[in-house]
Every structure is written in structure tokens, then in C-alpha cells.
């Protein structure tokens, strides 16, 4: 072969035990002899693993890939090669009965065009030359047929997506009610240990539900960005790959998953993924602790919207910057489920076993104050009739008639008439002074 030959990698299925690769070459042989540029087949692969190994090792000019590979292997290979080896041009090969959904997915994944397996050798070779130059090759008749077949599915998909979105949003209404009922039960159990009823505090169910929802958004905001770690690493690897010489490209790639990437002998799963994940987590926790809780809540809201979009089947409409694979969504749901169960267990133990921790400077606790929105602010209570000395107490809440107070020094609860007293917020109750 001369230096001007076209380096071709063929990725083909093996129907009925026949080897598709050589049959394709026989189709092209006569045409190639008449052309100034010859074809050099640098590899033939029949599955995803072999294809990814060969594309890294052989560095072809064009990859001709059969869309009849089992499952989603064809799309996975196209997506990986278009991202990690953008210099390799991809041409899809499809059966005579064009699988329109696979053609659309192949183009979306990065193929520059497609051609029928039954196309004339001249058309097949013309398609290879076209994509080699970086141009698109879309046969008019076949593409018209694909569009006709896809159109009804798009309409049905859009209608179904709207229905799914409406169902998901409707499900959120009882979910909020359940959260409100749960938080009311936890409030009642928590404050009931010191003789306080929820109604005495003047907090309605909507406020309790809001506090709980905010706590959920905070958790999503802290942990949600971890779902994007693989995407960020892939983007970094893609940039690195584009700026490396062919001699420096690793030949260790075995699959399109992040766990199998090898750069200089290092496992991306063992080093880059966990390093980036830890860095992202530290940044989010630092932002939250520093007082910028609104940022965490906004991020949590975005993550919640991503989950809702996936549940409704409209994730494709999300901007690319916040679109993640279904596998990452599944892993995220598992992680959030496990962490949520742990937090609920800790919260339950704090509420039912420990009870309120009320000290002179206010309410203390691990999760209850943060998740349930509980508070106990130090105040100075003044008797408007001046029959009693000012008292240092903790203000738990109240309604139109009563202030609910707790004496952290004597460990007693007081209910004070609103009309007979006024309060002034202070930093800390002084238990060294007498009070009564």
C-alpha cells in the first residue's frame, strides 16, 4: 500500500456465521483498483471490546461500523470514538431494512453518515471518501425514509413526555403532604418530651414541610454534583487525547467505561474519579458552611429538576451541561437513598432517644435543628406589670396568646401570656443570677 492509502477499520456483526469484513472488502476491491487512493484495512472487529482496542492501536482514518451489532454496542462504540478519537471519521453501515432509530442514534453519537449494506461498491467507496474529508454522507432516499419513520415516533414521544411530566408533578403534591405529616410527627415527638405541643409553637404544617424540603435540597446540592464527575473527567481526557501524539496514546483501553481507562498505567477509577469527587464534595461543603447556603439550595434544585426530567422521560431536552447518563442517575438515586436512610436513622435516634438538647446559648443537636428547622433563642423576659424580675429563658415559639419558654437553668418549661410580658433577644442565658 502506498503512503496515500486510506486506513480503514471495519466493525461488523457476524450474521449466520459469515465473516462480514472480508465480504465488504470484496465489494470494494474492484472500485479501489480504479482509484488513486487505495484502502488499507488495518483491523476487523466484531464486538465492542475488540473495536475499542483496535481503534486505539491502529489509529484508522475511517471506521466503518455495522449498526446491526447486538444491543447498543454500535452507539456506544461511536460515542466513545467520536469523543476520545475525534480524528477518526465514522461511517455507519446499516441493513437494507433501515433501522431508523439506530440510524438517528448513530448520527447523534457522532457518525458523519451512513450507507446501506446493499449499496453498490461505488456508493460505499464514495461514502468512505466523503466522511474522510470531514463531510456528511446522507443518502437522500434512505434519509427521507428514516425521517418519515421517525416523525410519528417523535410526536408520540413528545405527547408521552408531557403526560409523564404531568404525572410526576402530580405525584409531588401527595409527597409534600407526606413530608408535612412526617415532620409534624417528629416535631410532636421531639418537643413533647419537655411538655410542649406543636400547636403551642404557632408553626403550621406548610412551614414544617418547607423546612424539610429545604433540607432535602441541601443534601442534593452537596452530593448531586458528584454525578457529573465522570463527565468532567471524560471532557478532560478528551482534551488531553486531542493534544497527544499518536505514539503517546495508550493501548490499554478495554471498554468505554471510566473504570477501564488507563493513562500511564493509572486507573482513572482509582485516582482521578475519587480525587475529583473529593474535591467537588469539599468545595460544596465549604461553600455551605461558609454561609452561602443559597448556592447549595440552588444546586440542589437543579439536581431535583434533573431527576424529575429523567422520571418524566424528557432528559434529552436538558442543556448538555446538566445532562447525565441514565446509569449516573441510577447510581445517584441509590447513593441518595442510602444516605437518606442513614440520615433518617440518625434523626430518629436523636428525636426519640436523646430528645431536645437545650443549653443557655440555645438548642443543640446533630440533625434535628437543621432538618426540622427547630430553634431555641436566648431571650430576656420582662414582666410588663413589673411584679417579677427579668428572666433569662429560651424562646421556643408561640402563638397569639402564649410565649413558649424554657428555663435551661432549672430545666422547666414556661407558658407566658403575650399580653403580660415582652421579650428581648440576648446572646446567652446567665444561669449564675437568680431568677423568679
One domain, residues 192 and 304: yes
In the block, cell 430528645 appears at 355
164 & 303 share domain: yes
The pLDDT value given to residue 76: 85
Query: What are the grid coordinates assigned to 370, written together?
Result: 437543621
Residue 93 lies in a domain: yes
138: its cell numbers: 446522507
As for how many domains the chain has, the answer is 3
Residue 178 grid cell:
407526606
Q: What is the pLDDT along the chain (436 residues), one digit of tens a residue?
A: 455 788 889 888 765 444 454 556 665 555 554 455 677 888 888 888 888 888 888 889 999 998 888 766 788 888 888 888 888 999 998 876 766 778 888 888 889 989 887 778 788 888 888 999 889 998 887 777 777 777 666 655 556 666 666 676 777 777 777 777 788 888 888 888 988 887 778 766 566 677 778 888 888 888 888 888 777 776 676 666 666 554 444 444 434 444 444 444 444 445 667 787 788 888 888 888 887 778 888 888 888 888 888 777 777 667 766 777 777 788 888 888 888 888 889 888 999 988 899 999 999 988 888 777 788 999 999 988 888 888 899 998 888 788 899 999 999 998 888 888 888 999 999 887 654 4
Q: Does 218 lie in the same domain as 85?
A: no
This prediction has a pTM of 0.54
Q: Same structural domain for residues 344 and 414?
A: no
Q: What is the DSSP letter of 88?
A: S
- What is the predicted pLDDT for the residue at 393? 93
Q: Is 382 exposed, middle or buried (0-12, 13-18, 19+ CB in 10 A)?
A: middle
pLDDT value at residue 232? 74
Contacts 24+ apart (CB under 8 A), 51-56: 51/9, 51/11, 51/77, 52/77, 52/80, 52/81, 52/253, 52/254, 52/255, 52/256, 53/251, 53/253, 53/254, 54/9, 55/9, 55/81, 55/85, 55/88, 56/85, 56/249, 56/250, 56/251, 56/253
Let me know whether 15 and 116 are in one domain: yes
59 within some domain: yes
| Domain CATH for 69 | 3.40.50.2300
- Asked whether residue 340 is domain-assigned, the answer is yes
Residues 240, 108 share a domain: no
Alpha carbons 20 and 30: distance in angstroms, whole number? 17
Q: How many residues does the chain have?
A: 436
Residue 131: enclosing H or E segment and its boundaries?
A: helix 121-132
- pLDDT score, position 151: 62
Domain membership of residue 143 (yes or no) is no
Residue 151: exposed, middle, or buried by beta-carbon count in 10 A (0-12, 13-18, 19+)?
A: exposed
Helices (H), 62-120: 73-84, 100-109
Task: Kindly give, in sequence order, each residue whose CB lies less than 8 Å from that of residue 274, ignoring residues fewer than 6 positions away.
Answer: none
Q: Residue 25 has what pLDDT?
A: 60
My answer on whether 180 and 124 are in the same domain is no
Full DSSP string of 335-404: HHHHHHHHHHHHHHHIIIII--EEETTEEE-SSHHHHS----EEEEEEETT--S--EEEEEEEE-SSEEE
Q: Burial code of 319-338, b = ≥16 C-beta within 10 A, e = fewer?
A: eeeebbeeebbeebeeebee
Contact 250, 326 (CB under 8 A): no
Task: Say yes or no: 320 and 172 in one domain.
Answer: yes
Same domain, 188 and 126: no
- Give the closest residue to 115 by CA, choosing from 127, 107, 104, 105: 127
Largest distance between two CA atoms of the chain: 113
Q: Report if residue 30 sits inside a domain.
A: yes
The per-residue pLDDT for 32 is 52
According to DSSP H, which parts of 133-228 are helical? 140-191, 205-223
How many CB atoms are located within 10 Å of the residue 205 CB?
A: 16
Cβ contact 89:123 at 8 Å: no
Give the domain-ending residue among 74, 103, 138.
Answer: 138
Closest by Cα among 53, 42, 101, 48 to 73: 48
Q: Which helix (H) or strand (E) holds 283?
A: helix 272-289
The range of the structural domain enclosing residue 294 comes to: 158-351
Sign, CA torsion 335/341/344/348: negative
Tell me what pLDDT residue 358 has: 92
In a domain, 387, yes or no: yes
Domain presence at residue 434: no
In a domain, 248, yes or no: yes
Q: Are residues 200 and 341 both part of a single domain?
A: yes
Residues 299 and 185 in one domain: yes
- Whether residue 367 contacts residue 347, with contact meaning beta carbons closer than 8 Å, is answered with yes
Q: Which helix (H) or strand (E) holds 248?
A: none
**Pair 344, 381 in one domain:** no
* pLDDT at residue number 1: 45
- Residue with cell string 463527565: 231
Amino acid at each position: 500500500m502506498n503512503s496515500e492509502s486510506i486506513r480503514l477499520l471495519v466493525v461488523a456483526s457476524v450474521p449466520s456465521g459469515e465473516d462480514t469484513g472480508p465480504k465488504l472488502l470484496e465489494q470494494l476491491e474492484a472500485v479501489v483498483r480504479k482509484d488513486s487512493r487505495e484502502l488499507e484495512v488495518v483491523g476487523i472487529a466484531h464486538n465492542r471490546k475488540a473495536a475499542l482496542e483496535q481503534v486505539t492501536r491502529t489509529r484508522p482514518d475511517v471506521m466503518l461500523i455495522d449498526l446491526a451489532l447486538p444491543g447498543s454496542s454500535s452507539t456506544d462504540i461511536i460515542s466513545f470514538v467520536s469523543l476520545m478519537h475525534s480524528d477518526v471519521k465514522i461511517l455507519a453501515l446499516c441493513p437494507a431494512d433501515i433501522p431508523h432509530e439506530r440510524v438517528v442514534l448513530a448520527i447523534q453519537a457522532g457518525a458523519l453518515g451512513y450507507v446501506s449494506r446493499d449499496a453498490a461498491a461505488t456508493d460505499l467507496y464514495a461514502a468512505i471518501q466523503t466522511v474522510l474529508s470531514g463531510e456528511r454522507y446522507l443518502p437522500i432516499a434512505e434519509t427521507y425514509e428514516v425521517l418519515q419513520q421517525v416523525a410519528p415516533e417523535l410526536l408520540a414521544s413528545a405527547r408521552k413526555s408531557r403526560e409523564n411530566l404531568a404525572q410526576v408533578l402530580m405525584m409531588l403534591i401527595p409527597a409534600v403532604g407526606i413530608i408535612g405529616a412526617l415532620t409534624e410527627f417528629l416535631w410532636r415527638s421531639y418537643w413533647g418530651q419537655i411538655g410542649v405541643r406543636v400547636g403551642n409553637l404557632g408553626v403550621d404544617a406548610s412551614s414544617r414541610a418547607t423546612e424539610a424540603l429545604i433540607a432535602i435540597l441541601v443534601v442534593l446540592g452537596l452530593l448531586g454534583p458528584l454525578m457529573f464527575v465522570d463527565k468532567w473527567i471524560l471532557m478532560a481526557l478528551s482534551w488531553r487525547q486531542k493534544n497527544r501524539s499518536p505514539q503517546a496514546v495508550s493501548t490499554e483501553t478495554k471498554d468505554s467505561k471510566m473504570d477501564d481507562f488507563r493513562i500511564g498505567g493509572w486507573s482513572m477509577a482509582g485516582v482521578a474519579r475519587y480525587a475529583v469527587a473529593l474535591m467537588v464534595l469539599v468545595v460544596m461543603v465549604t461553600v455551605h458552611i461558609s454561609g452561602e447556603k443559597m448556592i447549595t439550595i440552588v444546586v440542589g434544585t437543579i439536581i431535583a429538576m434533573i431527576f424529575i426530567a429523567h422520571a418524566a422521560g424528557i432528559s434529552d431536552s436538558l442543556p448538555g451541561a446538566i445532562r447525565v447518563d441514565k446509569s449516573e442517575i441510577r447510581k445517584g438515586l441509590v447513593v441518595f437513598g442510602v444516605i437518606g436512610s442513614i440520615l433518617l436513622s440518625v434523626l430518629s435516634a436523636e428525636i426519640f432517644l436523646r430528645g431536645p438538647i437545650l443549653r443557655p446559648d440555645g438548642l443543640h443537636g446533630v440533625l434535628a435543628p437543621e432538618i426540622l428547622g427547630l430553634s431555641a433563642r436566648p431571650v430576656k423576659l420582662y414582666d410588663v406589670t413589673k411584679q417579677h424580675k427579668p428572666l433569662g429563658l429560651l424562646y421556643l415559639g408561640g402563638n397569639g396568646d402564649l410565649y413558649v419558654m424554657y428555663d435551661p437553668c432549672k430545666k422547666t418549661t414556661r407558658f407566658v401570656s403575650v399580653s403580660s410580658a415582652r421579650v428581648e433577644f440576648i446572646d446567652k442565658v446567665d444561669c449564675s443570677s437568680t431568677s423568679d
